[in-house]
Chain A
Amino acid sequence: MKKDIRELSEVTVRFAGDSGDGMQLTGTQFSNTSAFVGNDVNTLPDYPAEIRAPIGTTYGVSGFQLHFSDSDIHTPGDEPDVLVAMNPASLKVNIKDLKPGATIIVNINSFDEKNFKLCHYESNPLTDGTLDGYHVIEVPLSKLTEEALKDSGLTVKEITRSKNFFALGLMYWIYSRPIEPTLDWIKTKFKKKPEIANANKTALEAGYYFGDNTTLFSTRYKVNPAKLPKGTYRSIEGNEALALGLVAASVKSGLPLFLGSYPITPASSILHALSKYKSFGVRTFQAEDEIASICATIGAAFTGALAVTTTSGPGLALKSEAAGLGVMTELPMIIVDVQRGGPSTGLPTKTEQSDLLQAMYGRSGESPLVIIAASTPVDCFDVSLEAARIATKYMLPVLYMSDGYIANGSEPWKIPDPDKIPEIKVKFRKNSENFQPYQRDENLSRPWAIPGTKGLEHRIGGLEKQNITGNVNYDPENHEFMVRLRAEKVKNVENDIPDLKVKGNPDADLLIIGWGGTYGAITDAVHNLNEKGKKVAQAHFRYLNPFPKNTEEVLRKYKHIICPELNMGQLSVLLRNKFLLDIDSYTKIQGQPFKSSELEEKFANVLGGMSNG
């Protein structure tokens, strides 16, 4: 059957189904294939904290949204153009997010009384007018999969599990993507289960050819490759990039990488990734708790490792006393906080930026440390290297902020040439002549003298230290001196980091500032407004403590500053406090990232008010 192929510039798709339906896998495969054909891609996995909530209920719905485009994009898309709904519950949960007139592909076989009841639909949404205004395509996904696999020798249960591959095949056909990358993946993934590999392959192909043969679809779509800079690319998630960045830092510094960690969502995948890299000498230690994991990290730092501990907000709270020991002992270490919704257990699988003040102030005493934040999945790689550089050069803990959104989200990554990544110069103290544990270099850093080095035996610890000698000291003047010295040491880092850069319209009076994972949504909103002839500028913070040296100078140039954050305005608090500046805090605390459209609307409203005034 001859079908039209229509070109689109960008598409946002959301796959949704039960937690056990394989939606994360389906979404990931579609993303990787889209990246592979040259689109720019940005993803948003959104899944419940429960592993397998009861089938058919709304709280078991797992979704994966992706945005692919023929140009540079920064967000997973505000409103899906297409929803693939594997059951009524996933339709119910996701319909509110769709673009008006969006296409909804439903698995018609799951739209029965039993499933309506499970998700509290009182009548069939396909016929009761709920979906008026949408373009609904009813596909008997389960039946077609069963038919395709009837000779596979698999049980009904096993066959049912392959239906996501049927859906994926169909979506590949609709958007003119090749199925080969997924076929290759199936081959490797199910190497030890050839019958399952075959079933998935058959289902994928059946879905693809179904598109070709059915009359349900008259049109196919095509999204051309994006004009990305020349190079070799791969698709990468934030946590994966973070882990690779740590391995790169280990190679570039010559320090063995030590990770002390305790499983916690959404940081665990860093532990999983690093535990695979044993051939790089990576020592991963899954500790008995969060406290043990950072304490082992401190021990490893004392002993000369590139020492890292990874966690999320509740774990960071548990680590705070030990982080203070890190500050007092002036040992280099990286504390990674992949933020999630809080307080307490909060929203384990949802994103938020609400740990910034905890990172800044969440320790006893005057306990400053360096805070840096990654802004995109790809940026996580660079921030790992930067965290390692600062920690080892300045001999202090670096708190590395990521968040659930960039940790799980993925995008194409232009892989750097490892030879061009700068070395991280680290010098252990060897010479025992005139050695003092707390003597200072030009950066106020103390020497790193590791156990096993002859003649440098010394003791450190949590009690206040006398400068230079490192001996325990309770003198009032010494304490004040040391408190100020530790603060100055952190402040010194500002001499060694790039200025805060401003992008967007150079004549703007409105500046949008942000940090972390809001980068994509802010960038798109600012870009769109400038395209429309409005004047908006943007600055995004990677360094949160200390701030870049030119921060105040930049901020004072603007009549109005908006700071969008996924919290109650924590960066705004820090900036107001430090610079006595008026910051217009714009916040959202729903466990979801900003949509660029909602930011654009806010910025446009402020601009309107400014021109009137």
Chain B
Amino acid sequence: MADNTTMEDVKLKPKDFSSSQDVRWCPGCGDYSILAQVQRVSPDFGVDKENFVWISGIGCSSRFPYYMDTYGMHGIHGRAPAIATGIKLQNPKLSVWVATGDGDLLSIGGNHFIHACRRNIGIKIILFNNKIYGLTKGQFSPTSEKGKITASSPYGSVDYPFNPAALAIGSDATFVARSIDRDPKHLKEIISRAASHTGTAFVEVFQNCNIFNDGTFFTYTEKETKFDNVISIKHDKPMVFGKDNEKGIILDGFTPRVVSLTDGKYSVNDLWIHNEHDLHASRAHIISQFQNFEGVPTPIGVFRHVDKPSFDHELHEQIDNIVKKEGKGNLKDLLYKTNTWEVN
């Protein structure tokens, strides 16, 4: 692209975000959908292409930056949030994204993940959660269910899994959401929401690995089962689900319970009204735990969205205030300011 200022006026198109590299994921992989949705919505963010940066670690998902015609870095295993942090601190104007997988983010990179959440650095983390190690050929991951039979757990894994959304909420992330690779409309909406968040945004995407863990999310994606097993939560709206919105969720103490809206006992007015801006994270945490309660559907949507100043903003504001107060640093003053003496 030439250095032509008028170009800025022309709205970018999805294909502007597509790099010249051939995509090398396995045919049928859920990653294709995530890439397509990201490319589709990126022109809508109001961010110039040169201000996007995609950072990744290691794993199938971490090849993502190669396919985006933006700035990018394919980093080392688990460290994408740390690399992204350096980029965002150096230039807060950039829109900095992390593409990562369940092993990358939650196993080897767990430390960086929780600290990125805690610091509320303005980076967006998209977790491609396929509950398996793909690129190393099918070992159980920190999100695999206990008992999973894999290459490294032939008798069933004895590991308990992480719940990524719960971990993010527990680490005080200010934006926590979940979506599914096979629900492109929903996925686009959630990615757009994450893009507009100023602090750390965390999006878990259920992503099918059709080679090593095919069908692990089918209950949530197939017509026959998804209506009873997934609830799409929306801010300020009652929690209803089912094919004909015939079921709902009430909060009974700390326990979410499914109720019928057709037997006359409960109406929509009795249901839990989702408030993603709730400053207390307790309810968001309960939402992240839905799948642990028998019969309660798995939620997708924005679990938590609260505003607080981001780390990058605070750091630069501190610098600006000090410069305002003390004036811009002068090297001569710095070197000569302490107790000096003359030798003649």
Contacts and interface: CB of A to CB of B under 8 A. Distances in A.
Interface stretch (A53-61, A111-119, A456-464, A516-524): A456-464
Given A234-B338, A260-B86, A296-B82, A289 B111 contact: yes
Contact of A303 (B94, B331, B334): B94
Contacts of A125: none
B336 A455 contact: no
Closest 3 CB pairs of A and B: A299-B86, A461-B74, A296-B86
Specify the main secondary structure of chain A where it touches its partner.
mixed
Interface in B57-92: 58, 65-66, 68-76, 79, 82-91
Contact of B323 (A248, A279, A471): A279
B329 A280 contact: yes
Given A285-B89, A459-B73, 10 more contacts: A230-B343, A233-B343, A244-B335, A283-B319, A295-B83, A451-B87, A452-B91, A458-B72, A459-B65, A459-B74
Given A229-B343, A451-B71, A431 B3 contact: yes
What is the interface residue range for chain A against chain B?
35 or more
B334 A277 contact: yes
Given A299-B82, A455-B1, A247 B331 contact: yes
A299 B72 CA distance: 10
User: Which interface residue of B83, B111, B326 has the most chain A CB atoms within 10 A?
Assistant: B83
A342 interface: no
Nearest to B327: A279
Contacts of A278: 318-319, 322-323
Specify the main secondary structure of chain B where it touches its partner.
mixed
A230 B342 CA distance: 7
B323 A281 contact: yes
B340 A233 contact: yes
B136 interface: no
A292 B21 CA distance: 29
Interface stretch (A31-39, A369-377, A548-556): A31-39
Given A415-B340, A458-B71, A325 B50 contact: no
B328 interface: yes
A244 B336 CA distance: 11
B50 to A, nearest CB: 5
Contact of B51 (A235, A277, A279, A452): A452
Interface of A: 32, 35-36, 38, 181, 184-185, 225, 228-235, 244, 247-248, 251, 256, 258, 260, 277-283, 285, 287-289, 291-293, 295-305, 307, 321-322, 324-325, 329, 414-416, 418-419, 431-433, 450-463, 471-472
B86 A280 contact: no
A282 B326 CA distance: 14
B28 to A, nearest CB: 22
Given A288-B115, A299-B85, A418 B19 contact: no
B45 to A, nearest CB: 15
B254 interface: no
Contacts of B58: 462
A229 to B, nearest CB: 7
A471 to B, nearest CB: 7
A292 B79 contact: yes
B75 A462 contact: yes
Given A258-B90, A459-B74, A228 B112 contact: no
B115 A299 contact: no
B43 to A, nearest CB: 14
B71 A279 contact: no
Contacts of A293: 82
26 contacts: A225-B343, A231-B343, A244-B335, A277-B334, A291-B82, A292-B79, A293-B82, A299-B88, A303-B86, A303-B91, A303-B94, A305-B86, A305-B90, A324-B76, A329-B73, A414-B343, A433-B2, A451-B52, A452-B93, A455-B1, A455-B2, A456-B50, A457-B52, A459-B65, A460-B72, A461-B74
A289 B109 CA distance: 11
Contact of A451 (B51, B334, B344): B51
B53 interface: yes
B49 interface: yes
User: Which interface residue of B1, B327, B335, B339 has the most chain A CB atoms within 10 A?
Assistant: B335
B281 interface: no
A283 B90 contact: yes
Given A278-B323, A455-B1, A232 B331 contact: no
B48 interface: yes
Contacts of B21: 471-472
Contacts of B86: 258, 260, 285, 295-303, 305, 307
Interface string B1-19: 1110000000000000001
Contacts of B79: 291-292, 295, 322
A461 B84 contact: no
A577 B88 CA distance: 43
A278 B325 CA distance: 11
A432 B56 CA distance: 25
A463 B59 CA distance: 12
Contacts of B334: 244, 247, 277, 280
B53 A281 contact: no
A259 B75 CA distance: 19
Contact of A418 (B84, B115, B328, B335): B335
A457 B49 contact: yes
A279 B328 contact: yes
